[in-house]
Structure 1
Amino acid sequence: MSTTQRRTALAIVAIALGGFAIGTTEFVTMGLLPQIADGTGVDIPTAGHYVSAYALGVVVGAPLIAVLAARVPRKALLMALMAVFAVSHLATTFVDTYPSLLAVRFVSGLPHGAYFGIGALVAASLVSRERRTAAIATILGGLGVANVLGVPLATLLGQRFSWHLPYVAVGVVGLVTVVAVGLLLPRQAPEQAASMRTELSALRRGQVWLALLIGTVGFGGMFAMYSYITPTMTELTGLAESAVPWVLMAYGIGMVTGMVLAGRVAARFGVMRGILVSMVAVAVLLGLFGTAAHVVWAAVAFVFLLGLVPSIVVPLLQTRLMDVARDGQSLAATLNHSTLNIANALGAWLGSLVLTAGYGYGAPSLVGAGLAVLGVGIAALSAGLERRDRRRGVPASRLDADAAGSDTPAPTAVREVTPV
């Protein structure tokens, strides 16, 4: 490995460290839901609102930051976003009521989508076009590592000491990320052509909206199940609460595996075909999860697979949005995470509805299966419209050539940045 390649790899790992912090905070709330509910004086379905509050922060923050900070150098923007993320988590130390924690979780979520979206663009700009999905998967791989190491360890800390402690630890990792990005990331010149108008141009493209809908609807299904993973494992599977961190670790191992496979899936099937095949698998897994959860080994195996398969889809969706957004790169990239967190909020909310109605902890996954099927339908519609446009000779600048089965690569939509 050359010096340039080594520095590029370290820069991508520095951004991924922030992904580790974000992944830990996003999923540890689900693992500590009973403790947080007890600590803030609410029941478990109401505590699910903390998950939704963080997700709604992502939904609001991602597009606003992408548009308002369009001309800000990407390195400086990444550092600022992670600094806000870190400080908001350290502030959780002083929170112990439902309204205050709801507010802090909302603020904590504001930098999330913009950090991942801008980080993905930076990572893609540092490598060749063929390695874009793999580079993006490395950034998102921080989420997977968080679920293997960060979430189980944070859950243990929360169970044994205080539910505040995991959030403080995440804040410390966030501060380390600010320093690492400052030291390791190459200088990023401002985007001279970027503006609020060019970023908003992405919203005029139908394929952008379809890609966002795939994430919103399809992943809502997965979050309907995962938001209530702790009570599901204790009530349906019969595991002790002390065993839940190991189940969360299985989910994280699945996520890491999925991120590793994402680049290969894109190379083998193409981006759109990979999305379609993976979403069908998600629908099937969610449909069977409620039954499998009654048997320990089957429950753990399904949790692993439900970490793996959706994690293949996320980098594919990110690449798809970069291809179809044209000049609105930053907005489209951040909106991917915004819509995934709409899915998070949607899934947690729908799950709380069926639980409150008394259908039991097997019901959220069935709701999730229905949402995943709808996601498959939207993906099929997107692919069908693209094939129709190509047959009619509609220009497909920067569209995904692989998805159309073409051997001719589409022109890159990402500015190349030379490491310095």
Structure 2
Amino acid sequence: MKKSLLSLSLGGLTIGITEFVMMGILPDIASNLQVSIPVAGYLISAYALGVVIGAPLLVIIARNYPPKKTLLILAAMLAFFNALSIVVPSYGFLFLTRFLSGLPHGAFFGVGAVVASRLAEKGKEAQAISIMFAGLTIANLAGVPIGTYIGHHFSWRYTFILIAIFGIITFISLYFWMPKVAPNEEVSVKDQMQFFKKIEAWLVILITAIGVGGLFCWISYIAPLLTDISGFDAADVPYIMILAGAGMVVGNFVGGKLADQFSPEKTLIVLLLLMALDLTMVFFFSSNPYVSLLLVFCTGCIAFALIAPIQMLMIQIAVGAEMIASAAIQAAFNIGNALGAFLGGLPLIAGFSYASPNLVGIGMSLIGVLITVILVERRRRILKFATA
């Protein structure tokens, strides 16, 4: 593995722990800062808001800077804002630092995806992107459980020390291992924003927010699903989530290989159909604990197999505006996070079981398939017209 790609993977690891560890240490933060758990939950929303705002904004600001310099600044922001969370005196200040910590998330992955594709061997661009996102999967496999353990048994502030340390390591690795990559030809904000006039771009954003959003119908309510439906003890859930993380690691690399071997569009259609089938299995068979464990692994695998083909598809569509396009995908993922959690919660509010959010996830995945088919047909017509 190239050291340059490893440095991007370390950034993905730092971002992954930053984003997902909050779910595990939320009760500890709520107790320490004397707020309710629902109020503490707004800290997750604060981070997501930072991602949505920061992804396009920071990429536009840094559009004419060398990619290595941009990545170094973003890594420094990750380390600094997470370090601030260590010493916050109140809930309000932590809300602010969580928002600030989310700002570099989308921009890092946006710039990193483009850099990874440029550093890759021809025909292996998607696999190179998957290496960067491997850090995100390893975060779910090991980083988040370790951070949760530290938060439970010592202090949630120590968890942010761990994240800040990984941020510093990311900065150092980028400084020494990332080669200088030539920036794109100088472009104006107006030229960059032309990307958002493309219907194809919005279709990919919708595929991400709606289709992949089906994943979050599952993962947002996985703890009560495992305890109330599958019959596991609450103490078993963190260990079962490691199994989900292992699936994410496998799926991430499989998705990269598939997107290089086949077209990203075909890969997405197959994977979204598999996601719908998988969530159907979750709905009907989660009462069997052994089958439930297998499905936890499979769902994590399929979900993260979607990442590389989506990134590659967007890069192909956004010629000349690849970085802002790739960053927009990260914003769309977080919109999907919010959509999946909200829509998946509606059947629970109506009194249905903890398996019912998966029905919403099935619908979202199938809508994602439909949008992808529309995109394929539109691109086929454009290509036919261009060659006529």
Normalising by the residue count of structure 1, what TM-score does the alignment of the two structures yield?
A: 0.86
Out of 298, 301, 306, the residue aligned to residue 294 of structure 2 is 301
Q: Give 1:37 shift.
A: 4.3
Q: Which piece of structure 1 moves more, 129-138 or 283-292?
A: 283-292
- Aligned-partner Cα distance in 1 for 2:264–2:51: 25
Query: What amino acid maps onto 2:120 in structure 1?
Result: V
Distance 1:66 1:377, change over 3 A: same
Q: How does 1:30-69 map to 2 (within 5 A)?
A: 30-69=23-62
Distance 1:306 1:40, change over 3 A: farther
Partner of 2:239: 246
1:117-150 superposed Cα distances (whole Å, 9 cap, x missing partner): 1011111111233010000000011111111111
Out of 16, 32, 40, the residue aligned to residue 23 of structure 1 is 16
Question: Is 1:316 paired with 2:304?
Answer: no
Question: Is 1:214 paired with 2:207?
Answer: yes
Question: Is 1:171 paired with 2:164?
Answer: yes
User: SS of the residue aligned with 2:95?
Assistant: helix
Query: What amino acid maps onto 1:294 in structure 2?
Result: S
Partner of 2:217: 224
Q: Give 1:226 shift.
A: 1.1
Out of 108, 118, 136, the residue aligned to residue 125 of structure 1 is 118
Q: Give 1:363 shift.
A: 2.7
- Aligned-partner Cα distance in 1 for 2:322–2:41: 33
Q: Which piece of structure 1 moves more, 331-340 or 230-239?
A: 230-239
Q: Indicate conservation of the 8 Å contact 1:285/1:306, yes or no.
A: yes
- Aligned-partner Cα distance in 2 for 1:67–1:206: 20
1:146-181 superposed Cα distances (whole Å, 9 cap, x missing partner): 111111211222222233332221111011111110
Question: Is 1:113 paired with 2:106?
Answer: yes
Number of corresponding residues? 388
User: SS of the residue aligned with 1:77?
Assistant: helix
Out of 184, 195, 204, the residue aligned to residue 188 of structure 2 is 195
Partner of 1:154: 147
Q: Indicate conservation of the 8 Å contact 2:259/2:308, yes or no.
A: no
User: SS of the residue aligned with 1:144?
Assistant: helix
Q: How does 1:233-312 map to 2 (within 5 A)?
A: 233-312=226-305
- Aligned-partner Cα distance in 2 for 1:44–1:383: 44
Query: What amino acid maps onto 2:290 in structure 1?
Result: W
Structure 2 gap segments, 5+ residues each:
none
- Aligned-partner Cα distance in 1 for 2:31–2:361: 27
Q: How does 1:362-373 map to 2 (within 5 A)?
A: 362-373=355-366
Aligned-residue identity in percent: 35
Structure 1 gap segments, 5+ residues each:
1-5, 396-420
- Aligned-partner Cα distance in 1 for 2:35–2:279: 28
Partner of 2:383: 390
Distance 1:375 1:141, change over 3 A: same
Q: Give 1:189 shift.
A: 3.4
- Aligned-partner Cα distance in 1 for 2:183–2:61: 14
Q: How does 1:92-111 map to 2 (within 5 A)?
A: 92-95=85-88, 98-111=91-104
**RMSD (CA atoms):** 2.2
Q: Give 1:249 shift.
A: 1.0
Q: Indicate conservation of the 8 Å contact 2:11/2:75, yes or no.
A: yes
Q: Indicate conservation of the 8 Å contact 2:110/2:323, yes or no.
A: yes
- Aligned-partner Cα distance in 1 for 2:346–2:264: 34
Q: Indicate conservation of the 8 Å contact 2:216/2:340, yes or no.
A: yes
Normalising by the residue count of structure 2, what TM-score does the alignment of the two structures yield?
A: 0.93
- Aligned-partner Cα distance in 1 for 2:315–2:299: 25
User: SS of the residue aligned with 1:392?
Assistant: helix
- Aligned-partner Cα distance in 2 for 1:163–1:62: 27
- Aligned-partner Cα distance in 2 for 1:267–1:90: 38
- Aligned-partner Cα distance in 1 for 2:50–2:353: 29
- Aligned-partner Cα distance in 1 for 2:248–2:197: 33
Q: Give 1:41 shift.
A: 4.5
Question: Is 1:73 paired with 2:66?
Answer: yes
Q: Indicate conservation of the 8 Å contact 1:48/1:348, yes or no.
A: no
1:163-220 superposed Cα distances (whole Å, 9 cap, x missing partner): 3332221111011111110011102333333332332221121111111110011122
Q: Give 1:15 shift.
A: 1.1
Q: Give 1:273 shift.
A: 0.4
User: SS of the residue aligned with 2:212?
Assistant: helix
Q: Indicate conservation of the 8 Å contact 2:109/2:327, yes or no.
A: yes
Query: What amino acid maps onto 2:300 in structure 1?
Result: G
Distance 1:329 1:339, change over 3 A: same
- Aligned-partner Cα distance in 2 for 1:270–1:250: 29
Distance 1:16 1:316, change over 3 A: same
Q: Give 1:58 shift.
A: 0.7
Distance 1:238 1:96, change over 3 A: farther
Distance 1:232 1:159, change over 3 A: farther
User: SS of the residue aligned with 1:130?
Assistant: coil
User: SS of the residue aligned with 1:189?
Assistant: coil
Q: Give 1:52 shift.
A: 2.6
1:203-251 superposed Cα distances (whole Å, 9 cap, x missing partner): 1211111111100111221112212333433333332333222211111
- Aligned-partner Cα distance in 2 for 1:346–1:167: 27
Partner of 2:329: 336
- Aligned-partner Cα distance in 2 for 1:222–1:36: 26
- Aligned-partner Cα distance in 1 for 2:185–2:351: 56
Query: What amino acid maps onto 1:125 in structure 2?
Result: R
Q: Give 1:392 shift.
A: 2.9
Distance 1:293 1:43, change over 3 A: farther
